[in-house]
Amino acid sequence: MPAAITLSNLQKRYRALTALDGVSFAIEEGDFFGLLGPNGAGKTTLISIVAGLVRPDGGTARVLGHDVITDYAASRRLLGVVPQELVFDPFFTVRETLRIQSGYFGLSNNDAWIDEIMHNLDLTSKADANMRALSGGMKRRVLVAQALVHKPPVIVLDEPTAGVDVELRQTLWRFISRLNAEGHTIVLTTHYLEEAQALCKHIAMLKQGRVVALESTDSLLARFDAAQIVLHFASGRLPDALRDRATEPDAIERSRVALRLHSADEVETILATCRAAGAVVDQVAIERADLEDVFLQIMGAAPEPARAVLQ
Amino acid sequence: MSSVPAPEVVNGIGRPTGSVFGAATGFRTLYYKESLRFWKVGYQTVGAPILTAVLYLMIFSHVLEDHVKVYGNVGYTAFLIPGLVMMSMLQNAFANSTSSLIQSKISGNFVFVLLSPLSHRAVFAAYVLAAMTRGLVVGAGVLLATLWFDMPGFVSPLWIVVFALLANGVLGTLGLIAGIWAEKFDQVAAFQNFLIMPATFLSGVFYSVHSLPPFWQGVSHLNPFLYMIDGFRYGFFGVSDVSPWTSLAIVGVTALVLAAIALRLLASGYKTRH
């Protein structure tokens, strides 16, 4: 059984910029997969290669075993992509847009499924409205609907909740989670790490075109410091002996400092060190690390990839 | 409410079938969408060019009808009608492909075509056929509107149909190439104003090239649009500046060369798949 998406040594350069530098990994069928990284990490380039919008300089990408270049028709039928940009055709209504998108995929009589998608994305009341007349949030819903008209087994969402309200996020994630539960593979890029933590079973992190982390969300959270202790100093400052533990090295002179905590046993040691240094701690809080902490640690710790100087 | 089928039980939907019918539906849909696009703004895309052609005819025939005879005994108004019909078809077939593509590229919605399993041949055929449809609708409208002024003969309807189809195909293809190449609206405008418009006006729409000095006759014969209009006019009068067979060969070869270029650009993803 081929993986939903298989990437093998993908490379892409734009002049002197290396967008992807030998990316290889596989996303299994039925997974809810998060693709994370800062702006410019290569997430959208990677997705665009899988979707056939960008040609790689090297390597291969496959969707359920079908090469995205040599077997493009098959791979695109298996893939639904929600683009990052809010794009639409101003000549058509919502229903016309969805019928046209169905037709591109060879489906001439798809109204029952189109009605169901519109119902699930709260678009039914706008079915006959021209695309120009829709709000940004509604246009985003239509983009999602367009990606789903051909019931693709693999669905890629490139920052689908960027700039949308809470209601749409909840509606969208309810529907996407249902599709995932029914067997569809979901690949998500997002800057909202709490969404990725709540939804994704596996996560890949990209930095400057390279994969710097690739594992299950649970093990990723467990691999790094599980918690942090936040100290508030009534007087004095963080002792030098504890400076290496600070999660934000720039903040060690402040009255509120967060320190990495590897086990509960360390709490008393940290407080004793503060007392010995004459610092008075009046508030203590212990917080679990979340995906954002993990993300910051990985992105901070990952080495800068060596860059070829291009002429 | 029915549930979404899990991938392993998706009855052909969402799984690669390689179906010829699926590919045909994709082509038909893109052709329908491109045709619906111009039809929805019909005042601009069909009505306006017909009105423009009628105004040309009224003015030129008023000024020249009593002073100019062409091919011996053909009145100027009758001579002008096929030229205006062809000019309107050429300009509108070109405009349909270019305007659609450049708008889709700049607004970003061309991505929906790129994400689909449509082949480059299907995309080519759909865009060119939609351009031909608009050109033929406008041409038929101009012909009907101008017949009220004079009635050219319909000596050889087959030549009329052949040259109408070929010329619309050539300009639809040229529009597709321009739309793929252009990245800004002003590049499309430059293509239209500095290439299509002069080539159309200098191809014998308003005059017979035999009336030109020898040097300009020679220059005119380098213009492929001349053969489209001349061959088309042959179908109306049975007389032309160039043999219709020569015109057919030149227009046919032009169509094939442009089609090969357009297909190559689409297949390679030139300026569309980066």
> pLDDT digits over B49-91, tens only?
889 888 888 887 777 666 666 666 777 788 888 999 999 999 9
Is A7 strand, coil or helix? strand
CB-closest option in A73, A91, A101 to B112: A101
A87/B108 Cβ within 8 A: yes
Give the residue extent of every domain in chain A. Answer: 5-78+152-221, 225-288
Percent of chain B predicted with pLDDT > 90: 46
Give the residue extent of every domain in chain B. Answer: 23-268
For A5-78+152-221, give the CATH class.
Answer: alpha beta
Contacts for B124 with CB less than 8 Å, ≥ 6 apart: B173, B176, B259, B262, B263, B266
Separation of alpha carbons A203 and B23, rounded Å? 36
Check: CB of residue A148 under 8 Å from CB of residue A175: no
Region for B269 from its dihedrals, namely left if φ exceeds 0, alpha if ψ lies in -120 to 50, beta otherwise: left
B13/A107 Cβ within 8 A: yes
B7/A103 Cβ within 8 A: no
> Which pair of structure tokens corresponds to residue B258?
């442009």
Which of B21, B25, B100, B268 best probes binding to A when mutated, by most A CB atoms within 10 angstroms?
B25
Residues 162-191 of A with CB under 8 A from B: 178-179, 182-185
Q: Is A38 in CB contact (< 8 Å) with chain B?
A: no
Is B158 strand, coil or helix? helix
B117/A104 Cβ within 8 A: yes
Separation of alpha carbons A294 and A216, rounded Å? 13
DSSP state, B44? Answer: I
Backbone angles phi, psi at B168, to 5 degrees: -65, -40
Q: Tell me the nearest-neighbour CA distance from B89 into chain A, angstroms.
A: 23
CB-closest option in A73, A90, A92 to B16: A73
- Distance (Å) of CA A187 to CA A8, A42, A202, A219, A308: 17, 15, 10, 19, 30
Backbone angles phi, psi at A304, to 5 degrees: -70, 125
Per-residue pLDDT of chain A (311 residues; tens, 9 = 90+): 788 999 999 999 988 888 888 889 999 999 999 998 888 888 889 999 999 999 999 999 999 999 999 999 999 999 999 998 888 988 899 999 999 999 999 888 888 999 999 998 888 999 999 999 998 888 988 999 999 999 999 999 988 887 778 888 888 888 889 999 988 999 999 888 888 888 899 989 888 888 888 888 888 777 665 678 888 988 888 888 888 888 777 777 778 888 888 777 788 889 999 988 888 888 888 877 677 777 777 776 655 543 333 33
Separation of alpha carbons A73 and A106, rounded Å? 11
β-bridge mates for residue A66, sequence order? A63
> pLDDT digits over B256-266, tens only?
999 999 999 99
Of A15, A9, A27, A3, the closest CA to residue A210 belongs to: A9
* A88 contact residues in B (CB cutoff 8 A): 107, 109
Radius of gyration of chain A, Cα coordinates, nearest whole angstrom: 23
Q: What is the pTM of this model?
A: 0.82
Burial (CB count <10 Å: 0-12, 13-18, 19+), residue A115: middle
B274/A54 Cβ within 8 A: yes
Q: Is A40 in CB contact (< 8 Å) with chain B?
A: no
* A104 contact residues in B (CB cutoff 8 A): 26, 29-30, 112-113, 116-118
> pLDDT digits over B171-182, tens only?
999 999 999 999
Q: What is the pLDDT of residue B64?
A: 67
Backbone angles phi, psi at A26, to 5 degrees: -125, 145
Read off the pLDDT band of B9 (50, 70, 90).
very low
Q: Is A74 in CB contact (< 8 Å) with chain B?
A: yes
Q: How many CB pairs under 8 A join A and B?
A: 134
Of A126, A122, A81, A123, the closest CA to residue A101 belongs to: A81
Chain A's closest residue to B23, CA to CA, is A106
